[in-house]
Structure 1
Amino acid sequence: MKKIRLLCFPHAGGSAATYNRWKKYLDSSIEVVPVELAGRGSRMKDCFYDSMPEAIDDVCSIISPLIKNCDYAVYGHSMGTIIAFELCHRLMEEGRREPLHLFVSGRYPPNIKRDEKYLSRLPDREFLDEIFSLGGTSKEIFKSRELLDIFIPILRADYRMIEKYKYTSYNKKFNFGITAFNGRADAVVSYDEITEWRQHTAARHPVYEFDGDHFFINEKTEEITEIINSTLRDFII
């Protein structure tokens, strides 16, 4: 049976471990490949990215051997959607093997203009309050200075990179489909905004909405992975 690799990119502050539990829910024909970003997890000693292009350069070097002779799809949540989106465009521009499908969640597409908050510039307490308001972060982290000393720099670096990111309009849409997921109680992105991902593909663009906040993927893992399974089964021979 042919294998499909699912490259997964985490939210701000997240690591590859975010997607480890997906392995038990995905079809045996789908190999989860959580991509570890610089400055966290097994790459804790690597310098944080200063910009999105720098992140894409690094990610390309990591995934290039993984996709050379293998079909693959891409998933990103929140910050991870922008990394996934820009990676797909980079691969397309370079004439590389393109993904079978792109899955995005918890983030409006980059063509939507907003007056963004510059959270990375806030003092620690205000910064953490903003992060905690999104959900998905345990209050226990506030009680450990050791954890905060690790967690805050990663979060600030990720938010700084996203705040500096400037979307450049691309002349060509993706030929592969985009599936978008959203939490009904997400304070960051609305249903109307998540549907705008359709502007970036010439193929199918379904949208699924779930109960939950910005981190609905933590509670809806089984439902999300089943949609991924059913989407990618069409490509399995």
Structure 2
Amino acid sequence: MSTSIAQKMSRQGQWFQPAEADPDASIRLLLFPHAGSGAIIYRDWPELLPRDIGAQALTLPGRQERRGEQAFTEWEPLVEGLYEAVLATNDNRPFAFYGHCLGAQLAYELAVRMERDGVQGPLMVGMSGWAPKGFFCPTEEHIEMPTDELISWIKRLGSFPADIYDNPEMLAMVIPALRSDLSVAAQRKDHGALVPCPLVSYGGKNDGLQEEDDAFQSWVPRSPQYLGHREYPGGHFFIDSHAEAITQDFCSHLYRLAAAAKKLT
């Protein structure tokens, strides 16, 4: 029997941190970060979430403690490996997804595939910093951008802590992971699939990657249970400054949906 992608990768590194959600939590929350980053962007979320929601944040190969592993550069292999890793977290507790930018794209794809395969899917999905229409999509030109230009670009977006840009050692770790993730995102094909569960979206009022003013309206025909859009001051990484407000809003929806689902069992 062939060894799965997730099994191969799990020998080297851990997909989610922590590996298991708090056993006392009644609901699990899987968090998916933006391109080039890992679980660290959600480091403050466990303290902001209610105690009965157990967070587990994704770190892909090629960054943070997994930087010794080869990063994915193609969409399909990444999704397949991540899909197996997500299924491996299943412990029969209800769960939800939240993703930012590339993480939102992955959360969307995973939710669609879980329904297609007839397996337990998320109670709801939270999307921020991305929508299926009206958002920046990287091209080969962006992927192969000279390092100094790439650094200037991500600096304008404010995608990493300011001290990273003056630290050559840190940049040497961040840039390869970012290029890999841009390559992955460039290969994603939009099939117009419906989200099989309730969805709520979040955005920054001055997001430099949002190319159309009404971009988040593109979720309306894709989710029969679209819970609406919340907008906050800031750019693409508004979540850094508004994590408390986002988690409160997200959890209010999640509790309501979890209670409704419990009544049906």
Letter in 2 for 1:158: D
Shift in Å at residue 202 of structure 1? 1.1
Letter in 1 for 2:201: A
| 1:66-215 equivalences in 2 (<5 Å) | 66-109=89-132, 111=133, 116-117=138-139, 118-170=141-193, 173-189=194-210, 190-215=212-237
Alignment match, 1:58: 81
Q: Secondary structure at the match of 1:76?
A: strand
1: CA distance, partners of 2:109 / 2:44: 26
> Are the structure 2 counterparts of residues 69 and 193 from structure 1 closer, same or farther at C-alpha, using a change threshold of 3 Å?
same
Alignment match, 2:242: 220
1: CA distance, partners of 2:164 / 2:137: 29
> Are the structure 2 counterparts of residues 176 and 9 from structure 1 closer, same or farther at C-alpha, using a change threshold of 3 Å?
same
Q: Secondary structure at the match of 1:53?
A: helix
Confirm whether residue 15 of structure 1 aligns to residue 38 of structure 2. Answer: yes
Letter in 2 for 1:186: D
CA contact (8 A) 1:11 1:77 kept: yes
1: CA distance, partners of 2:162 / 2:56: 29
CA contact (8 A) 2:35 2:182 kept: yes
Following TM superposition, the consecutive aligned residue runs of length 4 or more in structure 1 with deviations greater than 4 angstroms are 111-117
Q: Secondary structure at the match of 1:148?
A: helix
> Are the structure 2 counterparts of residues 67 and 194 from structure 1 closer, same or farther at C-alpha, using a change threshold of 3 Å?
same
Larger CA deviation: 54-63 vs 205-214:
54-63
Q: Give the count of matched residue pairs.
A: 234
Shift in Å at residue 67 of structure 1? 2.3
Q: Secondary structure at the match of 1:75?
A: strand
The CA deviation string for residues 115-152 of structure 1, in whole angstroms up to 9 with x for no partner, is: 75531111000111111111232342232221121111
Unmatched segments (≥5 aa) in structure 2: 1-23
The CA deviation string for residues 170-214 of structure 1, in whole angstroms up to 9 with x for no partner, is: 3xx234111000100111115510221122211133100001110
Q: Percent identity?
A: 27
Letter in 2 for 1:162: A
Unmatched segments (≥5 aa) in structure 1: none
Q: TM-score, normalised by structure 1?
A: 0.91
C-alpha RMSD over aligned residues? 1.9
Q: Secondary structure at the match of 2:189?
A: coil
